[in-house]
């Protein structure tokens, strides 16, 4: 297995080429895929029930829906599973703006190739516990109006993912929390994103040793909760006003800090809001 460093070097030498988009599904094709899925758990009048979400939908519904949230637990308690090429069904939603694709298994590189072919109206995408690779994220750069992206708790990505994510130039909010393969070494790639305001990178593998890589980011909000960082490491980062120059809020939940530590951080960056 290549190390993060060797992968990063490879990416620098070989610019990412986006794969050619496959044809979008028609609404009729999408319905056939979605109606073949098992029912998922939903609360009806406060009681959990298994529901066939797509049973009574029509092609017209597929064309006009603006929000989808098809995931959930199926009978037996497992998450819904959608095979890679069946994710093509989501490309038929012509007016889609928000895709909540959590609690779904099967989000591999093939699935993300189709997600990169979603409607250009999509501005919010969350795919939880995916199985995508670093390079597999590259097709998302095709989504020219994507403002929010969450790929939380994905075990298969590393710092090499930031090379792909840096191609999503419309991005304002990125969540990679829970991705343990991320150390922060590659996060500097995000400095090229002109609109990025919020980075959630809690519960990853960020340490004091990798905090320096956050220096060039232009974000206003940074979430480093549940990481192995210390007051000393954070103070070193914050004491230089050229590091994270636009930072307004730093979230440090479940990071062991004393009152003296917090005072030191406030001294290092006066006016910074520290959320605990």
Expressed as residue numbers, the domain containing 139 is: 31-275
Alpha-carbon distance of 233 to 237, in angstroms, equals 6
86 within some domain: yes
18 within some domain: no
Residues in CB range of 220: below 8 A, 6 or more apart: 197, 198, 246, 247, 248, 249
**pLDDT score of 4 more than 90:** no
68 within some domain: yes
pLDDT at 22 (0 to 100): 80
State how many domains the chain has: 1
Q: What is the mean pLDDT of residues 95-120?
A: 98
pLDDT tens by residue, 175-227: 999 999 999 999 999 999 999 999 999 999 999 999 999 999 999 999 999 99
pLDDT tens by residue, 126-142: 999 999 999 999 999 99
Place of tokens 């949230």: 69
1 within some domain: no
Q: What is the CATH number of the domain that holds 37?
A: 3.80.10.10
pLDDT at 36 (0 to 100): 98
157 within some domain: yes
179 within some domain: yes
24 within some domain: no
pTM for this model (two decimals): 0.92
13 within some domain: no
Question: What mean pLDDT, rounded, does the chain reach?
Answer: 94
């Amino acid at each position: 297995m290549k190390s993060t460093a060797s992968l990063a070097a490879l990416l620098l030498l070989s610019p990412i080429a986006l794969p050619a988009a496959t044809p979008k599904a028609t609404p009729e094709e999408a319905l056939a895929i979605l109606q073949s899925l098992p029912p998922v758990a939903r609360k009806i009048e406060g009681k959990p029930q298994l529901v066939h979400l797509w049973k009574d939908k029509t092609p017209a519904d597929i064309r006009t829906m603006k929000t989808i949230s098809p995931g959930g637990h199926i009978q037996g308690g497992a998450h819904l599973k959608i095979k890679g090429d069946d994710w093509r069904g989501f490309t038929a939603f012509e007016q889609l703006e928000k895709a909540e694709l959590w609690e779904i298994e099967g989000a591999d590189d093939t699935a993300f190739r189709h997600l990169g072919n979603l409607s250009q109206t999509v501005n919010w995408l969350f795919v939880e516990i995916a199985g995508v690779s670093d390079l597999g994220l590259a097709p998302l750069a095709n989504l020219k109006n994507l403002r929010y992206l969450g790929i939380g708790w994905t075990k298969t990505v590393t710092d090499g993912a930031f090379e792909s994510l840096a191609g999503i130039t419309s991005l304002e909010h990125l969540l990679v929390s829970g991705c343990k393969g991320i150390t922060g070494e590659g996060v500097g790639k995000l400095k090229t994103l002109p609109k990025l305001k919020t980075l959630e990178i809690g519960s990853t593998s960020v340490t004091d040793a990798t905090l320096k890589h956050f220096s060039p980011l232009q974000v206003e909000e940074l979430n480093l909760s549940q990481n192995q960082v210390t007051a000393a490491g954070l103070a070193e980062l914050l004491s230089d006003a050229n590091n994270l120059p636009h930072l307004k809020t730093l979230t440090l939940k479940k990071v062991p800090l004393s009152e003296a530590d917090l005072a030191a951080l406030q001294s290092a960056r006066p006016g910074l809001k520290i959320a605990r």
